[in-house]
Structure 1
Amino acid sequence: MTSKPMQTSKDNQTLNTQVSDMQTPMPHTGAVTAHSSASLSATSLTMDSLINAQVAFMQQWLQQQAEPMAVEAWQWLGAQPLHRYVSADDLQHLINDWLLSQPMSDVMRTDIRDILHTIIYHPVNDNVPLSELVDDTQVETLANYIGSHDEQRNALIHTLVGNETFADLLTQTLYHAINDFMETTLDKAGGVGKLMKLGRNSFEKATNRNLDEKLQTYLHRNIKDLTRRAEANAQAHLSNEEVARLLITGWERIKDQPISQLQTYLNDEPDHSSIDHIEASIQQSYNRLRLSPYLRSLVSASVDTWYDNHQSDTIASVAASLYIDEEAMAQLSSALLPVVHDALESTWLTTHIYNMLQAFYAQPNIKDGFVFSKD
């Protein structure tokens, strides 16, 4: 780099005049600015007064130019190609070595639980139907998809008809109904009832088995057989359209219920909160997966795919895919201006600018070219 010629005494006089001319009342206060004004009010110019004047001028100039500079900076950055500053390895390290390597903090987990609780138990859910969450066309599309795929359709029929839990529940329901009927009937039947109870006792002694147990076994065996037959018949005779129609009909029955109806399936007791259990379960799965080779492989492949698609794009093009354009950046810049202005007036920035200028003028080739009066 070629050095500029050393300034002569005439140049020094010109500099003194320019610095004196630029001293107009500053809109900001502070020790450095006050020092600058006091120093330059004198006839002679000192090194400190020059630096203080420059610090004040730079702060004022940056305050006035902050907004247009932010826009110009974004225009320049947006025009740069992505691969100039970001590589696929950079993205891999960002995700794997920072995001996935760190467990979610307790503060963040607490915030997630509190936000979920606020959303789920918000009073607005009492007046908003389930159809606000899921559109009818979505249900219809899903129903047609399930109905048109044999494996999914048969799984649904098995869940609804052939489920063993449902068979057990039906067995218990019928048993209690029959037992209640018999007990009620025998109590009202007088002598006949006593005779029937005697017969029951005789049966249990002869077979060494409890009649209730025998009845439950009979119902359980036969109802399971009936559910298997019903499932087979349903799978054989229910058409795709009928399965889809069953799903759509089921949705029609519940879609007008308020969203708060979902709260009936959750527990909100402090020591037994469903939300706490859900969040803890998700967190456990996340912690197990985030360091697993499986997830790392998927992340690596996904990043490589994305980077191959966009490495030649400009940063503005990539940002535009996230709906971040020049207008959005201008709004963001305006929102951040108070922070920028406060930073420009802060003590730490003023000190750094002062130290930078002081180091600049302390260079021998610069210092020897100026003539200053002593403090």
Structure 2
Amino acid sequence: MPTSQDSQKPNTAAETKNDNADTNLSKQPSASRLTVDSLIDAQVNFIQQWLHNQAEPLAMEAWQWFGAQPLSKYITCDHLQQLMKDWLLNQPMTEVMRTDIRDILHTIIYHPVNDNVPLSELVDDAQVETLANYIGSHEQQRNILIHTLVGNETFADLLTQTLYHAINDFMESTLDKAGGVGKLMKLGRSSFEKATNRNLDEKLQTYLHRNIKDLTRKAEANAQEHLSNEEVARLMVMGWERIKDQPISELQTYLSDEPGNSSIDHIEASIQQSYDRLRLSPYLHSLVSASIDTWYANHQSDTMATIAASLHIDEAAMKQCSTTLLPIVYDALETPWLTAHIREMLAAFYAQPAIKEGLAHGHD
């Protein structure tokens, strides 16, 4: 790699070009050869050619210098806090980004390759078994889940209404087909309601609800007693065994892709709403601030190169990156705006009184 000393010397092409420029100047009359404009023209050409030839080694030397600097020298914890809040949390996601997310999700979910790839390609059997054993080993959480699903009032009410409608439909259809017996049963029902001042439907629902609540408690106790840790894990693994060979495209059956009713649009919109609500909440701001404080405390003494290495960015990666970006640098060096800036800088240099006076003495 060229050293800093080598970087001061333009290569053969640059020397040839600038030698030609010097030769052309030497052929001009003495007065014009020493004009400021001619000097500026020659220097602009030299600077652009020199930067063009030295762009790659300069980029690597810049990286080596930057990588040796400690993080705390240029970036404070407050800088990071402000960056995260002003740039990330305080700014909503743009509609362009949201559209890109929806389009990319649609491409991934509905890609034809999903028809030929099983679900087991996404999740390994060992991962499922580990997850099943982990869930099964938490007995208290499992019992809470069973109680939530089986032993709660909502489940009992739902089951009561389901059974009531089933019994009522059966009775109505049976009485209509029973002829005289059916009429007699309807008369008995009417007499019962008059004697007790209660509606039979209400009485039936009360009876069902009271007994079903008792049944759900028994069902909950039975489930908690017989669904051991091993049984829960085994059921989860068995469930995975039944679906793991299905293609990934099977997930599409649970989604809608109709215009105006796209599941992807609904999912993205829901995530966006949650994100917009959370990003402005003091709760999330507190967690982000604490996370940044923790990260900065762990890395404030590290060099930039050490931090970059944790992201697999090393000198080889930077060399590859600089090589990829060199065409942009070359094009930028040849742009009129850079030429104009270099010319303006040199004109300001030669406009200094001391330089003007020195050039004037040079003509004497």
Q: 1:302 to 1:243 in 2, by over 3 A?
A: same
SS at match of 2:37: helix
SS at match of 2:20: coil
Q: 1:122 to 1:329 in 2, by over 3 A?
A: same
Aligned residue number for residue 296 of structure 2: 307
User: Does 2:341 correspond to 1:352?
Assistant: yes
Q: Tell me the CA shift for residue 124 of structure 1.
A: 2.1
2:28 counterpart letter in structure 1:
A
Q: 1:281 to 1:118 in 2, by over 3 A?
A: same
Q: 1:92 to 1:40 in 2, by over 3 A?
A: farther
> CA offsets, 1:153-173, max 9 Å, x none?
113434565466666776677
Q: 1:281 to 1:372 in 2, by over 3 A?
A: farther
Q: 1:145 to 1:205 in 2, by over 3 A?
A: same
Q: 1:132 to 1:175 in 2, by over 3 A?
A: farther
Q: Tell me the CA shift for residue 49 of structure 1.
A: 1.6
Alignment match of 2:260 (pick from 271, 283, 301) = 271
User: Does 2:250 correspond to 1:261?
Assistant: yes
Identity %: 72
- Contact map agreement 2:175 2:185 (CA 8 A) in 1: no
Between the aligned partners of 1:318 and 1:271, the Cα distance in structure 2 is 46
Q: Tell me the CA shift for residue 247 of structure 1.
A: 1.7
Alignment match of 1:42 (pick from 28, 38, 44) = 28
Aligned residue number for residue 103 of structure 1: 92
> CA offsets, 1:92-139, max 9 Å, x none?
111112221111112212222222222222222222222222222222
> CA offsets, 1:266-308, max 9 Å, x none?
2323223222222222222222222222222211111111111
Aligned residue number for residue 73 of structure 1: 62
- TM-score of the superposition, structure 1-length normalised? 0.78
Q: In structure 2, list runs of 5 or more residues that go unmatched.
A: 1-14
Q: Tell me the CA shift for residue 218 of structure 1.
A: 6.0
Q: 1:344 to 1:226 in 2, by over 3 A?
A: same
- Contact map agreement 1:360 1:366 (CA 8 A) in 2: yes
Aligned residue number for residue 292 of structure 1: 281
- Contact map agreement 1:20 1:40 (CA 8 A) in 2: no
Q: Tell me the CA shift for residue 256 of structure 1.
A: 2.0
Number of equivalenced pairs: 342
Q: Structure 2 matches for 1:209-288, cutoff 5 A?
A: 222-288=211-277
Q: Tell me the CA shift for residue 184 of structure 1.
A: 8.6
SS at match of 1:84: helix
Q: 1:270 to 1:163 in 2, by over 3 A?
A: farther
Alignment match of 1:320 (pick from 292, 306, 309) = 309
2:311 counterpart letter in structure 1:
L
SS at match of 1:256: coil
Between the aligned partners of 2:155 and 2:244, the Cα distance in structure 1 is 24
- Contact map agreement 1:125 1:258 (CA 8 A) in 2: yes
Between the aligned partners of 1:218 and 1:112, the Cα distance in structure 2 is 53
Between the aligned partners of 2:346 and 2:280, the Cα distance in structure 1 is 49
Aligned residue number for residue 191 of structure 2: 206
Between the aligned partners of 1:203 and 1:119, the Cα distance in structure 2 is 65
- TM-score of the superposition, structure 2-length normalised? 0.81
Which shows bigger deviation, 237-246 or 65-74? 237-246
1:57 counterpart letter in structure 2:
F
Aligned residue number for residue 20 of structure 2: 24
Which shows bigger deviation, 248-257 or 161-170? 161-170
Q: 1:257 to 1:372 in 2, by over 3 A?
A: farther
Aligned residue number for residue 12 of structure 1: none
Which shows bigger deviation, 65-74 or 212-221? 212-221
Between the aligned partners of 1:131 and 1:156, the Cα distance in structure 2 is 27
SS at match of 2:90: coil
Aligned residue number for residue 7 of structure 1: none
SS at match of 1:22: helix
1:42 counterpart letter in structure 2:
Q
Between the aligned partners of 2:128 and 2:25, the Cα distance in structure 1 is 78
1:22 counterpart letter in structure 2:
N
- Contact map agreement 2:174 2:182 (CA 8 A) in 1: no
Q: Tell me the CA shift for residue 261 of structure 1.
A: 2.3
Q: Tell me the CA shift for residue 242 of structure 1.
A: 1.4
